[in-house]
Amino acid sequence: MSRYQRVELAPQTRDELAAGLAELGLVPEWADPALGLMLTGSLECAGEPVDLRLPAGTLGAIEDLGFSLADGQLALICGELDRNLLTRRLVTPLIAAVTTARARSFAAAADLDLEESLAADGTRRLQLRPRGPR
């Protein structure tokens, strides 16, 4: 097994993180504020405190993983061996999901329509248009 690694991510709210994970089809276990929540750990390392946890096997990860939301800074906490895999399979799609959700929210607040399209190469395009007849 490996030691847990901390991957700093762009600030997100708890709600944005939850919505992004839900869009990716992931249902985490959230920490009880009174008790906290720990990653399992291994012979090589102790558990690590997290605000939410996903089990080993999530997206092919060897160890359990989680997120810390301390002081407004979001960080992925994962095993050393899982870091590159989770950056590709979790972090990149999570950032895209949160960015799209933010764009939808900003568009609604500005009374704009947001059109989304996905190119064959996987590129997601967001287009803002004034609401009303076209």
Look at the pTM and tell me if it is higher than 0.95: no
- In this structure, are residues 115 and 126 in contact, taking their beta carbons and an 8 Å threshold? yes
From CA 30, how far away is CA 65, in angstroms rounded?
12
Domain count, the chain: 1
Residue 39 lies in domain = 4-130
pLDDT digits (tens, 9 = 90+) for 57-70: 999 999 999 999 98
pLDDT digits (tens, 9 = 90+) for 94-112: 998 888 888 989 999 999 9
DSSP string, 8-63: EE----HHHHHHHHHHTT--PEEPBTTTB-B----SSS---B-SEEE-TTGGG-SS
- In this structure, are residues 24 and 86 in contact, taking their beta carbons and an 8 Å threshold? no
**Number of Cβ within a 10 Å radius of residue 134:** 6
